[in-house]
Amino acid sequence: MASKGDLTKARLAESMLELIQTSGYSGTGLNAVIERAGAPKGSIYFHFPKGKEGLGVAAVDLAAKQFEALIAEAAASAGSAAGAARAAVEALATIVGESDFRLGCPVSVVTLEMGAESERLRQACATAFESWITPTTALLEANGLEAAEARSLATVVVSTIEGAVIVSRAMKSTQPLLSAADVVAELIDQRCQAAEKTR
C-alpha cells in the first residue's frame, strides 16, 4: 500500500501533467500545482528537490506511462498491428475531442517549450517518445517486419500521431487524427503484407 508521502508525490505529478496540457509548461506555476493537488506548500521541494524541472520530468514520465498503457491495450485487443495503431489513435482522438481540444500530448508541449532550455526535460521527453516507439517496434516485428524496418516504421507512426494531435487541436477537429489513423493503418498493412510475401 502506498504511503501518504507517495500519494502526495503522485498527486503533484498528476496535477502538473494536467496543467501542462491546458496551460503549457511555462504557463504552469507551482502554486497552481499545489492548489490543484491539495498538497501542503512545502511538499513540492520535499518530493521534488529540483523544483519545477523535477516535477516536469515526473509529469512527462507519467504521460509516457499512460500512453504506453494505451498502446498495450490497443495491441491486446486488436487482431493486427494495423488494427492496434488505428485503435490507439482513435482512443486518442476521443480523449482530445472530449476535452474540447484542451488536452493533447504533454510530451510534445514540453519538448517544444523546453527542449532547448533544459537538457533534463529534453532527455525525459526523448525517453517518453522511445517508450512508445519500442513497443510499437516489437508489435511490428511480431507481425513479420525485420528489426530495422520495424524501428523505422514505428518512429514514423509515433511522429505522425504526434503531429496529428497538434493539428487536431489547432483546427478543433478530430479529423486530422482520424485521417492519420487511416494512413498509418494502411502503411502498416502494406509493409506487413510485403514482408509476408518475401518470407
What domains can you pick out in the chain, each with its CATH number? 60-198 (1.10.357.10)
Per-residue pLDDT reduced to its tens digit, 38-50: 998 889 999 999 9
DSSP string over 111-138: HHHHTTT-HHHHHHHHHHHHHHHHHHHH
Q: Give residue for cell 510475401.
A: 197
pTM for the model: 0.92
Per-residue pLDDT reduced to its tens digit, 146-198: 999 999 999 999 999 999 999 999 999 999 999 999 999 999 999 999 988 88
